[in-house]
Structure 1
Amino acid sequence: MDEQNLIDMANRIGEFFDSMPDREEALAGIADHIRRFWEPRMRRALLATLDRPDADGLQMSGIVREAVLANREKLTPAAAVAG
């Protein structure tokens, strides 16, 4: 999965919500959008990029990074059940 493409998409979401006057509402909106509209493998890949040693060098906007880190548990997909 192209990590930079995921970051670019997340940054576009962040640009929309960054204009909101209520920062907490903006952070929740970013996380909620990613949780609702991104498939689990996309969310896993985005979260995995933040765990890399070079994560500080990523081109992820500050508001997106803050939203993802603050809502990591909500964004983490449930484990797949074998069946």
Structure 2
Amino acid sequence: MGMNATQLIKMANQIGAFFASQPDPQQARDDFAQHLKRQWDPQMRTALYAHLDASGGAELSAFVVDAMQALREQVEPRARPA
């Protein structure tokens, strides 16, 4: 994968800052999650979640961490254990 975590964090924070300026916090989180789902390839999303899980969201904005955690199933649907 050509992206390292630092680049992904920077991108996520920039996108987060854009959506976080919306007046409705829930809509902002939804829009952020939909952006990641539509615009980011699966490897990028997986890598960002790996960073979130490993570090607790180090260097990610509070908005990004909140949105990623709250809407994880939308952004990165995981296979459910049978």
Does the TM-score normalized on the shorter chain lie above 0.5?
Answer: yes
Specify the alignment match of 1:14 in structure 2: 16
Which 4+ stretches in 1 moved above 4 angstroms? none
Superposition RMSD in Å: 1.5
Task: Answer yes or no: is 1:67 the counterpart of 2:67.
Answer: yes
5+ unaligned residues in a row in structure 2: which ranges?
none
5+ unaligned residues in a row in structure 1: which ranges?
none
The whole-number CA distance in structure 1 between the counterparts of 2:44 and 2:72 is 13
How far did 1:4 drift? 1.3
The whole-number CA distance in structure 1 between the counterparts of 2:66 and 2:77 is 19
Distance 1:77 1:40, change over 3 A: farther
How far did 1:17 drift? 0.8
Matched pairs, number: 77
How far did 1:23 drift? 0.3
TM-score by length of 2: 0.85
Determine if contact 1:40/1:77 at 8 Å carries over to the other structure: no
Specify the alignment match of 1:48 in structure 2: 50
How far did 1:55 drift? 2.5
TM-score by length of 1: 0.84
SS in 2 for 1:20: coil
